[in-house]
Amino acid sequence: MNSSTHLDAALRWDGSRLAILDQTQLPHRELWLTLAGAADTADAIRRLAVRAAPLIGIAAALGPAMEVAAAPDPEPGMRLLREARPTAVNLAWAVDRVWAAARAGGADAARDEAERIEGEEGAASAAIAAHGADLLAGARRILTHCNTGALATGGAGSALGVIRELAARGEVEVLASETRPLLQGARLTVWELTRDGIPVTLAVDGAAAGLMRRGEIDAVIVGCDRVAANGDVANKVGTYAHALAARAAGIPFVVAGPTSSVDAALPSGDEIEIEERDADEVRRPGGDLVTLPDVAVRNPAFDVTPAELITAFVCERGVAQPPTAAAIAALLAR
């Protein structure tokens, strides 16, 4: 568990079959699951065995690609997959690309398109890491939220890819906020960074603002599930509070992600559908019931950070700083 082996990928594709690392079992067990097609992939995405916008996109491309050849009618599976989770735009984007290729050119075209998506997203990670590390040069104590590493993308990560590149260039210490309700910071980010030998300290989400105020953090970097045309960002719940605290502390708040997470058709973050998840994720932190079993719960999986709190949006094509509508449109046009 504490081995220093670098995690190469959270999914494996051999040209015809897709296997995924079941992220609900980490950090206790490394369990690989073979998926049977689009419906199976949808189920894995819904229960967060596969998670994070970029990786969801890759799984949503490869998962149905293997089915187009075998299934008599892949469309119902494609539909199910497309609606597995509502917030990350990468999901529909990937399914639509593979489905269009399948209709135009059959199974071979679908597989080629899926592999093209996988390749693009892997290359995007590397480019994001380089752009982000240039932007944050000199920042040593970095706060990140949720998990945006190799478990979240097709490469070394979005925000965590930037952190890895900063660590390759110099000294870095990471503060990981645990990311309730599902604790991806505690479970996944701590595990990935420890494997990489990058110093990481864990804190509860509510502690981050106070630590920023006390001058203990140089910069915040997070991923994104959907970026609206005006630069508003939907990301894991708790992100917005970190952005407010970074602004109050006068430190940069940077969002990193592939352009596949940008939804140019959406005017602002107010129109992003926020997924509400199961109440027991809140009632049972870590598994055991800590409250009354029938207490009412609000459990939005994401929140929206307005563009005016974001120092820069970093994607594989460059940096929008600040992330105005014009700057984002210019990036997309590159």
Positions marked active-site: 225
Q: Are strands 141-145 and 173-177 parallel, antiparallel or unpaired?
A: parallel
Chain residues in the site for a second copy (CB under 8 A)? 1-2, 27, 175, 177-181, 183, 186-187, 190-191, 194, 199-211, 213, 237-241, 244-245, 248, 274, 282-288, 290-292, 294-300, 302-304
CB of 149 to a second copy, least distance (A): 15
Residue 49's alpha-carbon distances to 31, 62, 290, 313, 331, in angstroms, are 10, 15, 24, 27, 32
Is-contact 84 46, C-beta < 8 A?
Answer: yes
Residues pairing with 313 in the sheet: 255, 320
| Residue 117 CA, distance from chain mean position | 16
DSSP annotation of 276 = B
DSSP annotation of 6 = P
The C-alpha torsion from 257 through 258 and 260 to 262, rounded to 10°, is: 50
Residue 14 or residue 288: which is nearer to a second copy going by CB? Answer: 288
Residues pairing with 11 in the sheet: 20
d(CA 187, CA 192): 9
Strands across the sheet with 226-228, in order?
262-263, 226-228, 233-236, 302-305
Residue 27 or residue 105: which is nearer to a second copy going by CB? Answer: 27
Q: 3-state class of 5 per DSSP?
A: coil
Question: Does the N-terminal peptide bond of residue 27 adopt cis geometry, omega within 30 degrees of 0?
Answer: yes
The C-alpha torsion from 210 through 214 and 219 to 221, rounded to 10°, is: -10
CB of 23 to a second copy, least distance (A): 13
